[in-house]
Structure 1
Amino acid sequence: MSRPSADPGAELARELAAVLRGEVRFGAAERTVYGHDASNYRHLPLGVVKPADLDDVRTALALCRRYRVPVVARGAGTSIGGQAIGPGAVVLDFRRHLGSVLEIDPQARTARVQPGTVLDDLQRAAKPYGLRFGPDPSTHSRCTIGGMIGNDSCGSHSLAWGRTADNVERLELLLADGTELTVGGRLTAAERAALRELPGPLGQLHTRLQEFTDRNLAVIRQGMPRLPRRTSGYPLDALLPEHGHHLARALTGTEGTCALLLGATVRLVEDPPVRALVVAGYPDEGAAADAVPALLPYGPLTAEGMAADLIAALLAAGPRPPALDRLPAGECWLFLEAGGTTALEAYQAARRLADAVRRERSATVALVTDPVEQRQLWAVREAGAGIVTRLPGGGEAWPGWEDSAVPPERLGDYLRDLRALLRRHGLRGVPYGHFGDGCVHLRIDFPLDEPHGVLVFREFLEQAADLAVSYGGSLSGEHGDGQARAELLPRMYPTEVIGLFGEFKRIWDPENLLNPGALVDPRPLDADLRFVTAPRRPLPLALPYERDGGSLVKAVHRCVGVAKCVDPTTGVMCPSYMATSEERHSTRGRARLLAEMLRGLTADSGRRTGEAIPDGWRSAEVREALDLCLSCKGCASDCPVHVDMATYKTEFLYQHYRHRPRPLAHYSMGWLPLWLRAVALAPGAANTLVRSPAGALLKRLGGIDRRRVLPVFPPETFTRWYRRHRAAHPAPVDARPVLLWPDTFSNHLQPDVLRSAVEVLEHLGFDPRLPDGPVCCGLTWYSTGQLGTARRVLRRSLGTLAAAGLPADTPVIGLDPSCTATLREDLPRLLGADGRPLSERTRTFAEFIDELAPDAPLPRIRREAVTQTHCHQHSVLGSAADRRVEARLGLQNRVLDSGCCGLAGNFGFERGHFEVSEAIAERILLPEVRAAGPDTVLLADGFSCRTQIAQLADGRRALHLAELIARELRTAARPTD
């Protein structure tokens, strides 16, 4: 045994880095982001290892055993009970490199997977065979099979296909002492005897397990409740003879406390090719729950419950989803899904369900067969995990009593009593969940930011545990126990069973190295909370955080770890994570770093020594993580709880560089509107300069990547052209005036976009006007945290608009989505009420045509088109109007699900960002652009998107919608031979 050093963490990190092929991260940033999961708890690990292969796992465990350092296995980190974090542990992140589907056996209907395999990846691999993995939690796009096995995950279809434990065939395991074995399958007496005869540690292990089981048959049979959703405690009843002595199932749900998972073979089920959805409405959730037992004999694939307060929370969080119009009348709804091999078969099964619902006189019903409408309705239900972290009134709601379960036939009475318990404590929550299995999800507005909040938290959880047990239920029906509920297990199980849990753990892990404190000898449920009291020192902030009571702390705590930002398959969020796969470059990772930084800023000075990020606004770790944030605003729209990292980044940059020198790019591109105004005085000379050898020096001095091509400055700005144009072509006296916003990018770099907008507007009978002087939205200053300058620029612009003398309701049309989004969203944030009039009358080009010229004749453009939607348009403005205008044009348009283009204003030009910028573009956008036919129109309203395409897509050029329409008008106006 080696001699411990003065700093065992540093010594262990050095040894790990020397022998592992994967990443070894023991720095403050990595410890912070891996110190949280989706629970209420915070445990800073000693370090993080991302093993490249199974040999790395074996080596890392051996070194940790030598140093007596605990090990915690982690998948997507979405555990709600605190199972994926551990104080002073080494966290093994299996998701990064050990996530492959190794084999699909369609005859046996099994799949062999690595522990870090994401569930959706397994589903995609199984789909060609008409198969799927049955359990499907709402985090299916990022949760891993290893994590599902650790927590015995379920999902909405467990009614038909069971829990993870019901679908595990074999587990390949690594024990803390280095022993490896594979367990699984039902064992005969002869097979059990053979296992006892194995040589060495394996035989000893099986002998102890069999003696343990045989000695305690009566206690296990009598002490384990029988209900479909029991995931609390160790599932020792899987060891019983009547259950086949199934070791794999006995280890499913043990939360990584007994062994590390190296691989798994899981059972697959037939996936009905066609589905239909019955939505049943009831006057309240109790009535809905009472109706479930009578509906179960009809064999629904799901019986999910969702009450009106979840809909209220959804509406408070964002715009109304059209899918809500399909809900029948009621205050609580059951989602009853039926499947079949044909559309008729699925419809008939759904109709039988619907007829059964109609027998209840208080019920209403809708039968939905359209797959798109079904997906939209299910999206509302799946978003619940994120939506209900904010109650309809805006208050915060926390896990703790997240997924209790009772026998389904007693669920109605349990829900009524649970509501009464909430009222007695003055608490609120939004129950929903798997009513067919008797499982209820519930987040509660525990007053954890008040001095007495922890006492309320503990008292409620103790009484709620007693309530669930009184109904013959389980503390957990899906997400396991962890620190949140393990302390409460003696209220559910007799003392003898609690003792067996400890003995079972010691058989597998006698040195207590694997996730200690998670189930056996648990940490207190009210210890280690990541937020316990309100900030003791209010922070002077530059931005208002109006949705969070002016508190950046509350804003950052919006992130609850559901990890939609680490789903790499769709949407705008989070482009830098999609390119790097680094947790600290996800929205969740950045929120965790900011939260850790704020712990020190808002606490008494004596607490700062316990923080991983003690430097406050000067933190290099936070700056580095935010450096790769593109400020795309994707999280503000795509995150279920609307974490707005672009705004938090602006605040941080403002505070971080206050009274300090800034990066060169903040002076070059942050002040770009001023420099372009100077260039406009002599554009020819400027072009000569940037194309000369001096251009490379200019890039270096401006903090611009050498691989970026500086733009060609047009000989004339748009505003100069406009003055000539208006002098030669006065507007008709009866034309309605509209104000065109001459944004910096279009005015100085691509004036054809604004010229085209003028042509189209004049063709439609409008009088496009310009402000009387220079205006700017201030975006370049805002995005670089130069908020004082941004406010001055915006105030000056408002004054210029006021001097134009146009009526106060004159529409303002923005051509560039980033500038338009700044006027729409950030202007009121910076100037308050002074900015709202302009914000409210600002429209995109498509919105203006759609709203104010709905019947105007537009040219017919019967061509194929591919559209890259600017990320700010996706996140702030929306693009429904664009789709309607394109339909009027006759375009056969395909909108790419590519997210941010990767340029993002100044981001892609800054030195050090080129590789990430290019990787983001190469994910979907550039391959799609290159594959588009030569006659396919490329549409991109964003200046950044058009620039990225022009510089990286082999010379292809994208058009603004205004350019496309104007070009068609010119073609139609040309005389024919």
Structure 2
Amino acid sequence: MARELAADLRGEVRFGAAERTVYSHDASNYRHLPLGVVKPADLDDVRTALALCRQYRVPVVARGAGTSIGGQAIGPGAVVLDFRRHLGAVLDVDPQARTARVEPGVVLDDLQRAVRPYGLRFGPDPSTHSRCTLGGMIGNDSCGPRSLAWGRTSDNVERLELLLADGTELTVRGRLAPEERTALRALPGREGELHRQLQEFTDHHLATIRQGMPDLPRRTSGYPLDALLPERGHDLARALTGTEGTCALLLGATVRLVEEPPARALVIAGYPDEGAAADAVPALLPLRPLTAEGMAADLIAALLAAGPRPPALDRLPAGECWLFLETAGATPVEAYSAARRLADTVRREHSAAVALVTDPGEQRQLWAVREAGAGIVTRLPGGGEAWPGWEDSAVPPERLGDYLRDLRALLRRHSLRGVPYGHFGEGCVHLRIDFPLDQPQGVLVFREFLEQAADLAVSYGGSLSGEHGDGQARAELLPRMYPPEVIDLFGEFKRIWDPENLLNPGALVDPRPLDADLRFVAAPRRPLPLALPYERDGGSLASAVHRCVGVAKCVDPTTGVMCPSYMATSEERHSTRGRARLLAEMLRGMGAPPGRRAGGAITDGWRSEEVREALDLCLSCKGCASDCPVHVDMATYKTEFLHQHYRHRLRPLAHYSMGWLPLWLRAAALAPGAANTLARSPAAGLLKRLGGIDRRRVLPVLPPETFTRWYRRHRTAHPAAAGARTVLLWPDTFSDHLQPNVLRSAVEVLEHLGFDVRLPAGPVCCGLTWYSTGQLGTARRVLRRSLQVLAADGLPADTPVIGMDPSCTASLREDLPRLLGPDGRPLADRTRTFAEFLDEFAPDAPLPRVPRDAVTQTHCHQHAVLGTAADRRVEARLGLHNRVLDSGCCGLAGNFGFERGHFEVSEAIAERVLLPELRAADPGTVVLADGFSCRTQIAQLAEGRQALHLAELIARALREDARDRRPGADGVPGDAAR
């Protein structure tokens, strides 16, 4: 079958272990290895693939972004059709009709960008809007916070273009007049037969459908059979929205658009608890807010446990649970007036604390906290793991407060914890729970809780799912919500569309058990010897990689640092999520008890070539450690894997050349002229081949003198002033041996500000090149030797240490304690970046004015580990008109961009934002880049542009000020000037 698919399709056909592994998960608790993955290049590929699957009796699962929480986007032994890769176009926009025609793989944010020039938008906006697809939204009937105003996806679908499992193609529309229904019944062939069966199905079961389907604003459980009723216009488009790919494949859709409000305001109301907040909602709904979102204090606690406090949280009023009530208007004044009415009602009716936010930037920051909820609450404030399962139940909004109180009581009875939040205006609650799935009794607890929670929701007249659909997580529970005759109708409806049960079998009809196929149950039982501590994950790499819950922020290619290789390749296995899945599958096999096989796709443990290949394009940028909502730290996992993979084995050539570069540079510095001559000679090509370096890379030029040699001469000629505060400047390898002007500029600025700048008594190194290539034994020895050198200095223990290169500084702050434990903590705690030092230790010192335009390329490690707030404050003191590029990684990333086989990816990453921005910048614009890698990438790829370190910029300004102050500097004789 794989051979035939590869021969007949223009798109990609992947039946290897790596691709099967990364597509074996979505955002649910489940793992199903597919038979293979097809990424169709066009609709003809979809038709051909489905025909071959039908011929071979292989099930088909359609997939968008793979963010389904119920397990709808995975299937055992199925062929997964990835629509997101190539079928993501907005085909047409009709502003007058307010409609758009789209391919199934179009990402929601791409649709929003396409229709924004017309003042329009697609109404539903789930928190995964930057990566979820319209096909997936139609499959699950997705909603989002603004469905209170604009409805669910099913409320916004005009027509669907479908491919049935038997190859039939047809288009279904919304509400139909009686004469239209008659015409459809008369159509020839399979299409007419289908319409006759559906109409007869409805006519025969009118009473059952009318009485058996709860009327709720958020009911996405089961098939929406009530859309077929005559009084609802026999709406086939609506009836198929939310069927989770079990009835037909979507080839295209025409969706309705709504007017984008020109202005918005946000009212935040604080209540003593979530029950009180929910009780308050029904009285506020008549004021027609766009949203009525609930978020309790435990979600904020989870956010703060995961990372630094966002400044936007300071706008939250007093309370333990908050309602986010958004208003809209044609003007800011109109939106503000609507918000004031809401705020006054909240104060008058509920005596609640209120904040009114009109600044768009602050609104975005506050909404970002809410949108990150799906990721944040996978880690509870105490550090425990929380999982989906009872993810989005919904009850009538007027009963939500009591339901939440009973739901909390049910959690307590089972000794479980979770963080409820969600769409209170429509009675929908998101909840992840710390099910003990890695313990022997955990699966029993999981099943018992879900059964009782289902009964609780139904007792309130609710739905098992209010947004994400059922999938394997909840389909087994549908008989608790619907009477047997309705369950029978679900099966009959499925058979009308898909009589051979080829499309996503087991997702809704005849479902797989909710406690089968759990991805955590086969996690390693026996501890594995590891080289790194994984202190946030109990020392377990398995727990660390299971941080990834499939939220898929790493496959948003538009912004941020994470994940640069995915942004360049669009390959799932090169995303943070894909790599986490591969590592989890590898550990699954390694964790099986001796003598037993785990039945996984990757069975060769640390020697896995699939894992090595996927991690080969990981730049170790650390972007995921900060940008991922659950802080998956792939750079650390890669280091561990490389250490284990190459243990007692020959390594790639680049590990010996680039990994040991500090020693090679120290040797070359003995004769820099000869080294430069060799690097520019015909022998350079041979050197690159021997070193595993790409032939297109230019080897850097060594300066005639290292910084440390210059410093010894400088110190002799310019001794420190008496009483000056001592600081220790860290002479990192790349600045010392390749760009000494950065360190010299730092000395110039620091001495100008009155500091006594010292260097370590001997050679020191952060060990990063060894650490990033997995040579951890050598990295530890290098760091211990560096600590011994510092101890011999005799400087006070609180002497600040200033690092000039962000990667080196981040390594001292984060990797040093990780490798040496408590011994490394004192140095880590007193290490600062150059900007941090100026901001903390010289906050009032006069800095020169630099009123120039600048753009900044932020180093990935600074973004992820160190932060940039101090840089922005120092730039403000300089008067610099700076714009920080949203360019993500520059693409060089230390040794990555120099290694053979990486040049194309490195260049593609730089071409995404950085290089176009530099080409477009005015020639007089200063380019700032504190990272040696960033400056090198810019110098080699940006066509003559040169970037400066912040210290170089300030030192230049000091020299210009000094020159301007010299007598005669303006062309006036010295005496006259005086």
Confirm or deny: 8 A CA contact 2:390 2:431 kept in the other structure. Answer: yes
| Distance across 1 between alignment mates of 2:894 and 2:22 | 28
Confirm or deny: 8 A CA contact 1:71 1:513 kept in the other structure. Answer: yes
Q: Report what 1:32 is aligned to.
A: 21
Confirm or deny: 8 A CA contact 1:556 1:591 kept in the other structure. Answer: yes
Confirm or deny: 8 A CA contact 1:600 1:607 kept in the other structure. Answer: no
Match of 1:120 among 109, 127, 131: 109
| Distance across 2 between alignment mates of 1:361 and 1:281 | 10
TM-superposition CA deviations, 1:596-655 (whole Å, max 9, x none) = 000011112444361101000000000000000000000000000000000000000000
Q: Report what 2:259 is aligned to.
A: 270
| Distance across 1 between alignment mates of 2:478 and 2:229 | 21
Amino acid at match of 2:589: G
Mapped pair 1:618 → 2:607: yes
Q: CA deviation at 1:933?
A: 1.2
Confirm or deny: 8 A CA contact 1:450 1:534 kept in the other structure. Answer: no
Q: CA deviation at 1:971?
A: 1.5
TM-superposition CA deviations, 1:402-453 (whole Å, max 9, x none) = 0000000000000000000000000000000000000000000000010000
| Distance across 2 between alignment mates of 1:921 and 1:605 | 47
Mapped pair 1:314 → 2:309: no
Q: Report what 2:886 is aligned to.
A: 897
Unmatched tracts of structure 1, length 5 or more:
1-11
Q: Report what 1:643 is aligned to.
A: 632
Q: Report what 1:718 is aligned to.
A: 707
TM-superposition CA deviations, 1:100-138 (whole Å, max 9, x none) = 001111111111000000000111111111111010000
Alignment of 1:224-623 (within 5 A): 224-532=213-521, 535-608=524-597, 610-623=599-612
TM-superposition CA deviations, 1:705-753 (whole Å, max 9, x none) = 0000001110000000000001111111121110000000000000000
Counterpart secondary structure, 2:512:
coil
Amino acid at match of 2:407: L
Counterpart secondary structure, 2:531:
coil
Confirm or deny: 8 A CA contact 2:731 2:743 kept in the other structure. Answer: yes
Q: Report what 1:877 is aligned to.
A: 866
Q: CA deviation at 1:888?
A: 0.5
Counterpart secondary structure, 1:320:
coil
Amino acid at match of 2:372: A
Q: Report what 1:824 is aligned to.
A: 813
| Distance across 1 between alignment mates of 2:469 and 2:91 | 27
Q: Report what 1:915 is aligned to.
A: 904
| Distance across 2 between alignment mates of 1:534 and 1:272 | 48
With the length of structure 1 as denominator, give the TM-score of the two structures: 0.99
Confirm or deny: 8 A CA contact 1:184 1:246 kept in the other structure. Answer: yes
Q: CA deviation at 1:534?
A: 5.8
TM-superposition CA deviations, 1:566-598 (whole Å, max 9, x none) = 001110000000000000000000000000000
Q: Report what 1:663 is aligned to.
A: 652
Q: Report what 2:974 is aligned to.
A: none
Confirm or deny: 8 A CA contact 1:43 1:85 kept in the other structure. Answer: yes
Counterpart secondary structure, 2:266:
strand
TM-superposition CA deviations, 1:749-804 (whole Å, max 9, x none) = 00000000000000000011000000000000000000000000000000001111
| Distance across 1 between alignment mates of 2:644 and 2:304 | 33
| Distance across 2 between alignment mates of 1:663 and 1:535 | 29
Counterpart secondary structure, 1:275:
strand
Unmatched tracts of structure 2, length 5 or more:
972-978
Confirm or deny: 8 A CA contact 2:522 2:591 kept in the other structure. Answer: no
| Distance across 2 between alignment mates of 1:614 and 1:704 | 31
Amino acid at match of 2:959: R
Amino acid at match of 2:737: H
Match of 1:778 among 751, 764, 767: 767
Q: CA deviation at 1:177?
A: 0.3
| Distance across 1 between alignment mates of 2:274 and 2:855 | 46
Confirm or deny: 8 A CA contact 2:588 2:598 kept in the other structure. Answer: no
Confirm or deny: 8 A CA contact 1:404 1:476 kept in the other structure. Answer: yes
TM-superposition CA deviations, 1:205-264 (whole Å, max 9, x none) = 111111001101100000000010000000000000111100000000000000000000
| Distance across 2 between alignment mates of 1:176 and 1:775 | 66
| Distance across 2 between alignment mates of 1:672 and 1:168 | 59
| Distance across 2 between alignment mates of 1:533 and 1:62 | 35
| Distance across 1 between alignment mates of 2:236 and 2:404 | 35
Match of 1:848 among 814, 837, 840: 837
| Distance across 2 between alignment mates of 1:535 and 1:394 | 20
* Distance change in 2, residues 1:245/1:606 (3 Å): farther
Counterpart secondary structure, 2:472:
helix
Aligned pairs, how many?
Answer: 966
Q: CA deviation at 1:361?
A: 4.2
Counterpart secondary structure, 2:214:
coil
| Distance across 2 between alignment mates of 1:751 and 1:911 | 27
| Distance across 1 between alignment mates of 2:687 and 2:560 | 36
Confirm or deny: 8 A CA contact 2:592 2:598 kept in the other structure. Answer: no
Q: CA deviation at 1:142?
A: 0.2
Counterpart secondary structure, 1:897:
coil
Confirm or deny: 8 A CA contact 1:77 1:561 kept in the other structure. Answer: yes
Mapped pair 1:80 → 2:69: yes
Counterpart secondary structure, 1:543:
coil
Runs of 4+ residues over 6 Å off in structure 1: none
Mapped pair 1:692 → 2:681: yes
Q: CA deviation at 1:190?
A: 1.0
Mapped pair 1:676 → 2:677: no
Confirm or deny: 8 A CA contact 2:929 2:948 kept in the other structure. Answer: yes
| Distance across 2 between alignment mates of 1:571 and 1:203 | 50
Q: Report what 2:976 is aligned to.
A: none
Percent identical? 89
Amino acid at match of 2:486: V
| Distance across 2 between alignment mates of 1:131 and 1:956 | 40
Q: CA deviation at 1:362?
A: 4.2
With the length of structure 2 as denominator, give the TM-score of the two structures: 0.98
Greater CA drift, 926-935 or 138-147 = 926-935
Q: CA deviation at 1:141?
A: 0.2
Match of 1:939 among 928, 932, 936: 928
Q: Report what 1:9 is aligned to.
A: none
Confirm or deny: 8 A CA contact 2:523 2:542 kept in the other structure. Answer: no
Q: CA deviation at 1:666?
A: 0.2
| Distance across 2 between alignment mates of 1:934 and 1:206 | 66
Q: Report what 2:130 is aligned to.
A: 141
| Distance across 2 between alignment mates of 1:889 and 1:186 | 63
Q: Report what 1:734 is aligned to.
A: 723
Q: CA deviation at 1:271?
A: 1.1
Counterpart secondary structure, 1:305:
strand
Counterpart secondary structure, 2:479:
helix
Amino acid at match of 1:397: A
Q: CA deviation at 1:535?
A: 2.7
Counterpart secondary structure, 2:485:
helix
Counterpart secondary structure, 1:724:
helix
Confirm or deny: 8 A CA contact 1:450 1:533 kept in the other structure. Answer: no
Q: CA deviation at 1:696?
A: 0.6
Counterpart secondary structure, 1:818:
helix
| Distance across 2 between alignment mates of 1:347 and 1:723 | 64
Greater CA drift, 430-439 or 198-207 = 198-207
Confirm or deny: 8 A CA contact 1:815 1:845 kept in the other structure. Answer: yes
Give the root-mean-square deviation of aligned CA atoms.
0.7
| Distance across 1 between alignment mates of 2:510 and 2:805 | 59
Q: CA deviation at 1:536?
A: 2.1
Q: CA deviation at 1:924?
A: 0.3
| Distance across 2 between alignment mates of 1:930 and 1:809 | 44
Counterpart secondary structure, 2:294:
strand
